[in-house]
């Protein structure tokens, strides 16, 4: 599993707590996508499974380390949804927790890693809660999530929360340049579009993602020139429609920032001419379209089986209408 340098301070802090005997049995790591929390959890698990740790590092040579490297450690469990399912049901959690009351196979710690704890059904969360209230001896839960507010309050209250914050922008930008080979402006744009998460920014700079973003923006430029949003349907009616809607929303937000003289925080710094083209439209029009984009994206994410083409066509025609002088705009609820 790839290790990222910005994880080092978090690892040292958390591993230090474990080594000092102050580690909480239920650690909940909150991070935005693209921060590499999986690598952090795995490193902590490796340390707990090591039989001869060297400070806050696993030795890599003991039986525990060898089994972790092979992915066959009997006292280490990774909890993910069953094949074909999107959630973690109560049966999965019971299968895991029931085994925790047995003695560890290697006589040491037992570690359970729940990659995305927000996938727990309510019944599964309550089953896990019972175990967290009285955790078995030498048992450690490592949990990660992007939206802790989705968790049951009672479950959150049983965990030690750790926020994995993004690194400083200049440092992350320099790292991104080294890893991607992209120029300064491209790296800054990718980083800001990823809310400061370097791994997500690196993914955005990969050729397939960069090509799709470039193609979408080229089509968008033509659509704006011709005042014909409907022409975007051909490029947007695909599985990655939500990505394109996200990119479009960031352009709209950037245009609103420029209108308010807040250009220093623009995200799409590599697409300033396109942002400036949007600035020409009234702020109320930009806000109306932006609000509609957010709602459409949320619909597509929430209901995968929804008629994407119909929704896109309806909204593109509506946005096209908003661009007409004097066109009535929908109410915006903040």
Q: CATH no. for residue 317?
A: 1.20.272.10
Q: Counting runs of H as helices and runs of E as strands, what totals does the chain give?
A: 15, 5
Residue 110 is assigned to a structural domain of this protein: no
pLDDT, residue 232, reads 96
User: What's the rounded Cα separation, in Å, for the pair 280 and 251?
Assistant: 13
Which residues have C-beta within 8 Å of that of residue 141, sequence separation ≥ 6? 25, 26, 27, 111, 112, 113, 114, 132, 135, 159
What would the mean pLDDT of 51-58 be, rounded to a whole number? 92
Which pair of tokens denotes residue 20?
């000092």
Mean pLDDT across 54-65: 93
Question: DSSP character for 37?
Answer: H
Residue 46, domain member (yes or no): no
Q: What pTM, to 2 d.p., does this model score?
A: 0.91
Q: What are the structure tokens assigned to 247, written together?
A: 């990119």
Confidence of residue 83 (pLDDT cuts 50, 70, 90): confident
Averaged pLDDT score across all residues of the chain = 94
The three-class DSSP label of residue 142 is strand
CA pair distance 276, 252, nearest whole angstrom: 10
The answer to whether residues 200 and 247 belong to one domain is no
Percent of the chain with pLDDT over 70: 99
Q: By residue range, what is the domain housing residue 245?
A: 207-322
At which of 205, 229, 258 does a domain end? 205
* Residue showing tokens 């009351």: 101
The reported pLDDT for the residue numbered 186 is 97
Report pLDDT for 257. 97
Tell me the average pLDDT across 297-307.
92
Residue 334 has pLDDT above 60, yes or no: no
Cα distances (angstroms) measured from residue 71 to each of 46, 76, 309: 11, 9, 43
- Indicate whether 60 belongs to any domain: no
Residue 88 within a domain: no
Residue 11, pLDDT > 90, answer yes
Q: Is the pLDDT of residue 332 over 80?
A: no
Confidence of residue 333 (pLDDT cuts 50, 70, 90): low
In this prediction, residues 302-316 reach a mean pLDDT of: 94
Same domain, 199 and 253: no
- Here the tokens at position 334 are 């903040």
Kindly tell me if the per-residue pLDDT of 330 is higher than 70.
Answer: yes
The continuous run of DSSP H or E covering 26 comes out as strand 26-30
Q: pLDDT class for 62, splitting at 50, 70, 90?
A: very high
Tell the burial category of 128 from Cβ atoms under 10 Å away from its Cβ (0-12, 13-18, 19+): buried
Q: What is the mean pLDDT of residues 172-179?
A: 98
Domain count, the chain: 2
Q: What is the pLDDT of residues 225-242, one digit of tens each?
A: 999 999 999 999 999 999
What is 173-188 written as a DSSP string?
HHHHHHHH---HHHHH
Residue 166 gets which letter from DSSP? Answer: P
Task: Give CA 43 to chain center in angstroms.
Answer: 19
């Amino acid at each position: 599993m790839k290790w990222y340098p910005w994880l080092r301070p978090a690892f040292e802090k958390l591993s230090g707590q474990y080594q000092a005997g102050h580690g909480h049995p239920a650690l909940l790591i909150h991070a935005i996508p693209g921060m590499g929390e999986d690598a952090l959890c795995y490193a902590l698990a490796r340390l707990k499974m090591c039989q001869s740790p060297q400070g806050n590092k696993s030795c890599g040579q003991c039986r525990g380390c060898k089994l972790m490297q092979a992915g066959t450690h009997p006292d280490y469990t990774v909890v993910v949804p069953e094949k074909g399912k999107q959630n973690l049901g109560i049966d999965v959690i019971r299968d895991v927790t029931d085994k925790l009351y047995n003695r560890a196979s290697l006589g040491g710690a037992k570690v359970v890693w729940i990659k995305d704890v927000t996938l727990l059904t309510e019944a599964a969360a309550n089953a896990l809660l019972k175990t967290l209230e009285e955790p078995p001896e030498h048992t450690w839960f490592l949990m990660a999530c992007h939206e802790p507010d989705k968790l049951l309050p009672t479950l959150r209250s049983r965990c030690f929360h750790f926020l994995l914050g993004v690194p400083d922008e200049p440092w992350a930008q320099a790292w991104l340049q080294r890893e991607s080979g992209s120029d300064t402006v491209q790296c800054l744009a990718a980083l800001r579009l990823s809310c400061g998460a370097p791994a997500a920014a690196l993914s955005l700079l990969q050729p397939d993602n960069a090509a799709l973003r470039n193609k979408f923006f080229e089509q968008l430029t033509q659509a704006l020139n011709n005042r014909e949003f409907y022409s975007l349907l051909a490029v947007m009616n695909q599985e990655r429609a939500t990505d394109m809607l996200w990119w479009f929303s960031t352009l709209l937000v950037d245009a609103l920032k420029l209108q308010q003289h807040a250009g220093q925080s623009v995200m799409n710094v590599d697409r300033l001419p396109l942002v400036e083209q949007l600035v020409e439209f009234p702020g109320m029009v930009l806000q109306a379209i932006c609000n509609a984009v957010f709602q459409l994206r949320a619909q597509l994410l929430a209901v995968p089986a929804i008629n994407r083409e119909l929704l896109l066509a309806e909204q593109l025609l509506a946005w096209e209408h908003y661009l007409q002088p004097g066109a009535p705009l929908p109410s915006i609820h903040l």
